[in-house]
Amino acid sequence: MNSSSPDILALITTLKMAGITTIILMLIGTPLAWFLAKMKSRGKVFIEALVALPLVLPPTVLGFYLLLLFSPQYLPGQIWQQATGQQLAFSFSAIVIGSVLYSLPFVVQPLQKAFEQLGDDLLEAAATLGASAFDRFFTIVLPITKASFITAASLGFAHTVGEFGVVLMIGGNIPGETRVLSIALFDHVEAFDYAQAHMISISLVIASLVLLSMIYLLNRPNKSRLKTSNPLITKSETSKRFS
Amino acid sequence: MTGLSIKVLVEHDDFVLSIDEEVSLTGITGVFGHSGSGKSTLLKVIAGLNKQAKGKLSINTLPEADTLFDSEAKVFVNAQQRNIGLVFQNSRLFPHLSVEGNLRYGQKRRNNTPLNNFLDFSEIVSLTQLDNLLVKSVEQLSGGEQQRVALARALLAEPRLLLLDEPLSALDDKNKKLMLTLLAKVQKQLNLPMLYVSHSLAEIQQLADDLLVLSSGEVTHYGDIHQVIHQLTTHSEIFHQTSLSLTLNEHLPQYGLTSLALAEQNILMPLNQQVKNDSEVRCIIAASDISVTLHEPSESSIVNHLNGTITAFELCKSQVLLTVNCSGQDFFVNITAWSTKRLSLIVGQKIFIQFKANAVRTLC
């Protein structure tokens, strides 16, 4: 019993980190995805590559650079320390910032794809009916791409829960602050406490499986409402004759 | 009198639209051109959906002009503030809303100016024959129904000008006729100026009062519909045809014919009881469907023969395009050079033109 309470604390820290990260991701990711979907210049591919970078880099690489930037020797770390009076590295804020960068592609990519698929047709129609850009976003874009928003948020959340490398590099292992489930799991394995390790692992597997199943259920092709019907095109003999 | 003052230049990679024209906004103005002529780009510029356009665009409602954009003065009124409706070729209905939801979308956002006479929702719904479809999802609708919803949705936003971008091109013949009749009715009832873009001259001829012709991004003709079609015919830019408006004499259902009046002469067409006493019929007669005789034929199955005077000859390849004036109306007649020589036709000669009732065509 004694050993399970630090794990509960780790669970709470994890949920708090993933929750806050997801909210920030949606706020940053939505305009970024919109911008990328509408952008036509060549600079687009560079931004897309930058966003996708965490997909291919070892998380420890990202963690390493963030650790440097967050330390008081570098400007971002200094600014943070002056503003808050606390060190940024090895803090809860540090792991949230790290998670936002690390999970960004999981939010931006589904949203960007949905916005691209939506296209301009319906938005143009709404504009000619008197809807402002803000109005169009909430009455056309959001309801039609709702499933993609849920997918983006779920993937961002799930991926943040599952991160290890970045947190280890910039967060360390401070209970209640930066000790998340994946770190707790690592500790148990190091200490040969396989029973506790199993508990955490199997819970994560089941929770992730349930979440992913729900995402796939939501995105089943027949649920898509983007398709507009394509009426038959028939050529009239009369109009051919006179035009 | 309202007008649209267009001084617009749009440059894309391989295409330039350059227009300097005052278009009168009364009734329906047809915009005709082949694909790539810039018709749809022009509509987008007017609607405010093209932000690259340079120049100046304003709606002139006396006593003042309302600028829609002026690239030099860096003025650009957004589409949502222009109060100009647009019906697209592909209805663009909102898939997450019902038919009624789509209709209410525009209605909720209409401009609340005291000058407006608010349209009654149910009046527009019954005018566009959507009464039984309100609760349906837009995906359940046929192509014709979708376009009627798109039209009603645009009308309920109460635009001061309605743009129509090939609204019939995705419809079958039956629905085309229905929409044409509906558009004419809507225009009359609401007295709403419309710009009607199409690559089908036959459609435009049925509806429009004026015609603007675009070719490679420039206006080549603009004026009264019949006059412009006559100009296009004499320039051989279109199939040679006579375009005319006639009034009803009487219906002759026992013979399957409708008799129309051209001054003191009669023209018979296939029975069309849609034609009412007070309305005019827009007809087209292909120049190749008319022939010429020197004397009035008395023993012929061809029902229409009108007397007239030859006013012009034009040689096009091996054919001759004759202009024959009958009771003030010019008719275009295609005959062979051989016939011209055999009948020794000359300008000023009095002759008869003849054509079958079936040659008198109308889309409605």
- pLDDT by residue (tens digit) across A95-136? 999 999 999 999 999 999 999 999 999 999 999 999 999 999
Which range, of A160-174, B17-31, B109-123, averages the lowest pLDDT? B109-123
The residue of chain B with its CA nearest to that of A233 is B170
Report the share of chain A in percent with pLDDT over 70: 89
Select from A144, A240, A63 the least CA-distant residue to B241. A240
- For residue B356, give the amino acid letter: K
The Cβ of residue B258 has, within 10 Å, a number of other Cβ atoms equal to 25
- What pLDDT, on a 0 to 100 scale, did the predictor assign at position B18? 93
The Cβ of residue B104 has, within 10 Å, a number of other Cβ atoms equal to 16
Please give the Cα distance from A193 to B77 (Å, whole number).
69
- The residue among B65 and A234 whose pLDDT is bigger is B65
Interchain proximity B95–A232, CB inside 8 Å: no
Reported confidence tier of residue A234, pLDDT bands at 50, 70, 90? very low
- Any residues with CB less than 8 A from the CB of B333 and at least 6 apart, and which? B287, B290, B291, B292, B321, B322, B323, B324, B353
pTM: 0.83
The residue of chain A with its CA nearest to that of B285 is A242
Q: What is the mean pLDDT of residues B131-142?
A: 91
Coil vs helix vs strand at B50: coil
How far are the Cα atoms of B66, B151, B247, B281 from residue B278, in angstroms, in the given order? 36, 26, 8, 10
Please give the Cα distance from B315 to B300 (Å, whole number).
29
- Any residues with CB less than 8 A from the CB of B78 and at least 6 apart, and which? A127, A132, B48
Whether the CB-CB separation of A243 and A235 falls below 8 Å is answered with no
Report the share of chain B in percent with pLDDT over 70: 97
Tokens linked to B297: 């034929």
Select from A153, A197, A160, A195 the least CA-distant residue to A13. A160
Residue B155's beta-bridge partner residues? none
- Evaluate if residue B351 carries a pLDDT over 90: yes
Overall residue count recorded for chain B in this entry: 364
- The residue among B45 and A243 whose pLDDT is bigger is B45
Task: Tell me the backbone φ, ψ of residue B241, rounded to 5 degrees.
Answer: -155, 155
**Min distance A224 CA to chain B CA atoms (Å):** 10
- What pLDDT, on a 0 to 100 scale, did the predictor assign at position A111? 96
Interchain proximity A231–B171, CB inside 8 Å: yes
Report strand pairing: B350-355 vs B329-336. Answer: unpaired
pLDDT, tens only, B183-228: 988 888 888 999 999 998 989 999 999 999 999 899 999 999 999 9
Overall residue count recorded for chain A in this entry: 243
Q: Does B173 touch chain A (CB under 8 A)?
A: yes
- What pLDDT, on a 0 to 100 scale, did the predictor assign at position A72? 85
Reported confidence tier of residue B113, pLDDT bands at 50, 70, 90? low
- The residue among A182 and A34 whose pLDDT is bigger is A34
Reported confidence tier of residue B278, pLDDT bands at 50, 70, 90? confident
The Cβ of residue B4 has, within 10 Å, a number of other Cβ atoms equal to 20
Interchain proximity A129–B85, CB inside 8 Å: yes
pLDDT, tens only, B318-343: 789 999 999 999 999 999 988 988 99
Residue A112's beta-bridge partner residues? none
Please give the Cα distance from B31 to B164 (Å, whole number).
10
- Evaluate if residue B54 carries a pLDDT over 60: yes
The residue of chain A with its CA nearest to that of B50 is A124
Q: What is the mean pLDDT of residues A195-200?
A: 89
Reported confidence tier of residue A187, pLDDT bands at 50, 70, 90? confident
Q: What is the mean pLDDT of residues B161-184?
A: 90
- Any residues with CB less than 8 A from the CB of B88 and at least 6 apart, and which? A121, A124, A125, B150, B165, B167
What would you report as the CA-atom Rg of chain B, rounded to the nearest whole angstrom?
23
- What pLDDT, on a 0 to 100 scale, did the predictor assign at position B291? 93
Burial of residue B27 (number of CB atoms within 10 Å: 0-12, 13-18, 19+): middle
- Evaluate if residue B277 carries a pLDDT over 80: no
Out of B105, B109, B238, whose CB is closest to A243?
Answer: B238
